[in-house]
Structure 1
Amino acid sequence: MAARVEALRTAGQEALRAAGVADDATAPARVMPFAGRSVELDLAIVERLARAPDPEHAAALRTLEGAAERAGWKAVVKEARRALYRFGQRGVAVPEAARVETPRRPASSSLEGYLSAIDGRGDRLVWLVRPRREGGLLVLTAILNEPTGLRDVSIAELPRKTLRRMERDLQARHHLRLVPADGAYCDALLAEGFTRARATGAAGVGEYPTYRARLTTAEPAPRDPPLAARVLDATEVESAALAGGVALLDEPEFTTWRLERPALAAHLADVAAARESPLVLSRPQQEERVRDVVARAMRELFGGESGVAYRRRLEEMAYYLQATGRRAHALVAWRTACALAASTAASAGIPFFEELTRRSFAVLLEEDAARARDEAKGSVLVRPGAAPAGTPRIRAPR
């Protein structure tokens, strides 16, 4: 256990270093902005704060300890409390621990929730169901996008057998499987999605408040923590290997997870330019140029708000994978989401995102090559020095 904690702490120190935080930096104002992103970073921050036994650092440690307890990061809680105990032995005034209260959830236990996987565009299907006293079900169905929010919503009164038939048809015809989920959580997702959609002026969702009022009049529950955090053990997540993220992309639900051409257009042109310059660049230079282009694309596509969206998608997929009996994949998905949240260089060094980017480039480059071959075959013009497509080359006599 001690060796594993030390390995996590070392990784956190490396992340702080990469973010430009000096090894001797211990001031709370310098290190606390990185708190709460991952177990690794929090362990490293605890070690930094523990170097300076004074009231300011004690207060920061207590804050970090409370947040880690709410997140279920037991190793961080233990290390922070150990540091605070040592502060107390040295006569430093240590703040009292704040009482951690579990947020009260609205009385919406009668709601049933169902969630599909998230596709490559960030879309998923959400069902929110309430049994009716007079029989049958009231079913709200919605398309929810991460990050843009609610995209489509409708409501209907259905017998339960009809709902089950719809569920079977979706899986049989469209390979779309829904898994049971906490109804209050699904309600929170939809409420958040409506707020986002309304902020962007999205059409087709204006009836959502009216539809929801037919299901419940309670205030929406908080979304956090995500469902995966409630069903996956934090210690197991910490032990999951990030390298397993590559295998996630081979799971059926991830087959549509590709970066679209508009997002990669400028970078594709740079890759093509590097590959088509054999007289200017050597092969190793070409490969280095391509790696630089890919790294730049990853920084742009998985940093900032886009990075937050991908983190949340993986958090949701972690629950879906757990609910469909793929616990090992669920742990890796959650671990990858945590790594992205903690990363100070977008997604650099995270296998899932590196492989996702590589595969996306490969698909689009092959499409471009196939298009060029088709155009060459159909061309009636012959460029100077080039033989028509399909014409055997004439070799010089020996």
Structure 2
Amino acid sequence: MRRAARRALYRLEQRGIALPAAPAPPIAARSAPRPVRAWVSGIDGSGSRAAWIVFEGDFGGLRLCSLILNDVAGIVEVAGGDVTRKRLDHEMAELRASQKLPWVEVEPGVAVRGVVGALRAHEAAGTGPPAAFDRWRPLFAAAPAPPPLPAPAAADETVVERSAELLGLPDLAGWFLEPEDVQADAVELLQARESRLVVSEEARAEREAAIVARVVDRELGPDARRLWARRLLEMALVFDAEQRGEHAALARAAAAALLDDSRPPGRIPFARALATRALEVAGEVSLGRLGADVARRRPAQSPRAR
């Protein structure tokens, strides 16, 4: 049959009849590597966290993007490249052994959401991410849109009243307001405690409470409340991943209270605890017992202009 077909084609060509060439088989377009696995750390007192995102290409090749993200300064550090599964497992084991903050696996969209938020922080600050991020930008641009951060349910008053317990957790040991911003208040608090004036314990406690209340009202305006609420909601997801339901509930209750504009910040135990700890740290700085650079919570802004 094939021989007969070839003879027929030959006769047609001899008569000057050319048949159209068969179309070339389509070339499969390579799609952008997609995020398939991700890990994030807890959030430190400056609002920074580490994130690892693994991208997989069409033929199974893996690329690891390692970032330090800050919710105010944006993308602080970025590194990575091609990685084998064996190497990834080795790096993960080493990281878990050295990491002080919680380190949990999450859905890739959760980590991508952090990158998107960091890029928005750059946009707001008029800065740009490190140059090393340029090679990763197309991968994040092609990634599926990340899910929004889940909103908390209405605050349970009983749980809100316990929200200051969060700052007793080792995970949140570095959480407090910027000490530099409350330095004068801390000095006033030290003077009140060291005063030789004979006053009742009740009067002394009232003065200290008034200083804390003033700091809370001044430092926890609408933007700051939303910032701390986001941190709490992100940490609630970390607590969920670690099967720490009680801590997750406390974090979500504190976040809900902060997002409730009708609730004065002074009525939120978590907010008062943030201010109290900041005053204590600022007092240690004033007394020379702690360096200001160690106490500082405010992250350095990225020097790269857009």
TM-score when scaled to structure 1? 0.57
- The alignment's C-alpha RMSD in Å is 3.0
Paired residue type of 1:275:
R
Match of 1:137 in 2: 62
CA separation of 1:183/1:108 partners in 2, compared to 1, >3 Å: closer, same or farther? farther
Distance 2:289 2:245 in 1: 41
Q: Quick check: 1:208 aligned with 2:133? A: yes
Q: Percent identity?
A: 29
3-state secondary structure, aligned to 2:38: strand
Give the letter for the 1:195 counterpart: R
- Greater shift after overlay, 200-209 or 155-164? 200-209
Shifted more, 262-271 versus 309-318: the winner is 262-271
SS of match in other structure, 2:66: strand
Aligned runs of 1:117-196 on 2, under 5 Å?
Answer: 117-196=42-121
Query: 1:179 deviation in Å?
Result: 1.5
For 1:175-324, what aligned pairs fall within 5 Å after superposition?
A: 175-202=100-127, 204-213=129-138, 215=139, 217-218=141-142, 221-224=145-148, 226-227=149-150, 234=153, 238=156, 241-279=159-197, 282-324=200-242
> Unaligned stretches of 5+ in structure 2?
1-31, 291-306
Q: Which runs of 5+ in 1 are unaligned?
A: 1-106, 373-398
Q: Assess if the C-alpha contact under 8 Å between 1:301 and 1:307 holds in 2.
A: no
Aligned-pair CA distance for 1:201: 3.8
Q: 1:180-204, CA deviations, whole angstroms, 9 ceiling, x for partnerless residues?
A: 2221232232123113214424455
8 Å CA contact retained: 1:191, 1:220? no
Q: Secondary structure at the match of 1:325?
A: coil
Provide the TM-score with structure 2 as the length reference: 0.73
Residue matched to 2:3: none
Amino acid at match of 1:250: G
- How far apart are residue 289 of structure 1 and its match? 1.8
Equivalence map 1:351-390=2 (5 Å): 351-365=269-283, 368=286, 371=289
In the alignment, the residues of structure 2 paired with residue 357 and residue 198 of structure 1 have an alpha-carbon distance, to the nearest angstrom, of 29
AA in 1 matched with 2:246: A
Which deviations, in whole Å up to 9, do the C-alpha atoms of 1:156-213 show, x marking residues without a partner?
1111222222222222123244212221232232123113214424455245353131
Change (3 A) 1:290 1:162: same
- Supply the AA of the counterpart residue of 2:119: F
Q: For 1:345 and 1:273, how far apart are their aligned partners in 2?
A: 31
Cα pair distance change 1:359/1:192, threshold 3 Å? closer
Cα distance in 1 for partners of 2:186, 2:156 equals 36
SS where residue 136 of structure 2 aligns?
helix
Q: Which residue of 1 aligns with 2:40?
A: 115
Deviation at 1:147, TM superposition (A): 2.8
Tell me the SS of whatever aligns to 1:112. Answer: strand
Higher relative contact order (CA 8 A, sep 6+): 2
Whole-angstrom CA distance in 2 between matches of 1:158 and 1:277: 62
Partner deviation per Cα, 1:202-258 (whole Å, 9 max, x = no partner): 455245353131x3553652552x15x5xx8x48x7486123323322222111113
Query: In 2 relative to 1, CA 168–295 (structure 1 residues): closer, same or farther, beyond 3 Å?
Result: same
Q: In structure 2, which of residues 247, 257, 272 is the aligned counterpart of residue 339 of structure 1?
A: 257
- The count of residues paired between Structure 1 and Structure 2 equals 259
1:270 aligned partner, one-letter code:
E
**Higher strand proportion, which one?**
2
Residues in 2 aligned to 1:212 and 1:204: alpha-carbon distance in whole angstroms: 10
Cα deviation for residue 116 of structure 1 reads 0.8
Provide the rounded CA distance (Å) in 1 between the counterparts of 2:157 and 2:205.
33
The 3-state SS of whatever aligns with 2:266 is coil
Is contact 1:240–1:335 with CA below 8 Å preserved after alignment?
A: no
3-state SS of the aligned residue for 2:80? strand
Q: State the secondary structure of the residue aligned to 2:247.
A: helix
Secondary structure class of the residue paired with 2:65: strand
- Which residue identity lines up with residue 334 of structure 1 in the other structure? R
Question: Structure 2: how far apart are the matches of 1:306 and 1:183?
Answer: 27
Q: Does the 8 A contact of 1:299 with 1:345 survive in 2?
A: no
1:303 alignment partner AA: G
Aligned equivalents of 2:165, 2:141: Cα separation in 1: 43
Tell me if the contact between 1:245 and 1:336 (Cα under 8 Å) persists in the aligned partners: yes
